[in-house]
Structures are given as structure tokens and as C-alpha cells.
Amino acid sequence: MFDIGFSELIVIAIVALVVIGPERLPKVARTAGHLLGRLQRYVNDVKSDISREMQLEELKKIHADIQDSAMSFEHSINTGLQDAQQSLEKTVQTTESAIQALSAETPTASSEVTAPPSSPAKV
């Protein structure tokens, strides 16, 4: 976190010993250690919260992308089904008109009733 060397720590300890005194120095050091521990936990909590928020944003973005892809896929399927249905309807209409044309051209079955062909004679 800070770029403090060993010699600088020695100087800080000597100054603290002179200013605070040997009787209160252990209590002050203990309190400073607790405060530094709390500060580190707080910093770690903030880092993890930020990390979670970033992951949540990424997940929301992925979710939106997947929804867009699903909507696009559904639209393409619906378009394909409509095209197939229109093609089938055209085929049915063409077939019906062909059947009507053939039935108009062909004479009725009752006017052309003929006897079945005779079977060959047995010997």
C-alpha cells in the first residue's frame, strides 16, 4: 500500500516511543493495529461489493443479449412458418383450380358406363 522501508519503520517507532512514551506505546500500538485491521476489512468489503456489482452488470448484459437473440430467433421462425403457410395455400389453390379444370373437361362418369371386358374362354 505505502512504500515504506524497514529503516523508515525504525525511525517512526523511535519517534513514537519518544512522543508517546514507553508506558502508553503498547496500548496505542494495539489500538492502531485494530484500526488498521478494520480499515483493511472495510477496503476488502468495498472491493468485493464493486466486484459483485460489475459481475451483476455483466450478467444483466448477457441476459439482455440472450433475450434479444431469442426474440430474433422467434421472429425468424414465425416468418418461416408464415412463408411456408402461404406457399402451401398457393399450392392448394393451384391444385383445386387444376381439379376444377379437369372435372370440367372430363365427361361425367354416368354417361360413359360400359360393360367390363369379357374374360377369355376356358379351354
- In tens digits, the chain (123 residues) has pLDDT values of 567 788 888 898 889 888 988 899 899 989 999 999 999 999 999 999 999 999 999 999 999 999 999 999 999 999 999 999 999 999 999 999 999 988 888 765 545 545 555 555 555
Half-sphere exposure of 32 (CA within 13 A, CB side): 8
CA 70 to chain centre: 9
Q: Does residue 53 sit within a domain?
A: yes
Domain that holds residue 44: 9-93
DSSP state of 106: S
Q: Does residue 37 sit within a domain?
A: yes
Helices (H) and strands (E) in the chain, counts: 2, 0
pTM for the full model?
0.50
Q: Does residue 100 sit within a domain?
A: no
Q: Does residue 116 sit within a domain?
A: no
Q: What pLDDT, on the 0 to 100 scale, is given for residue 108?
A: 59
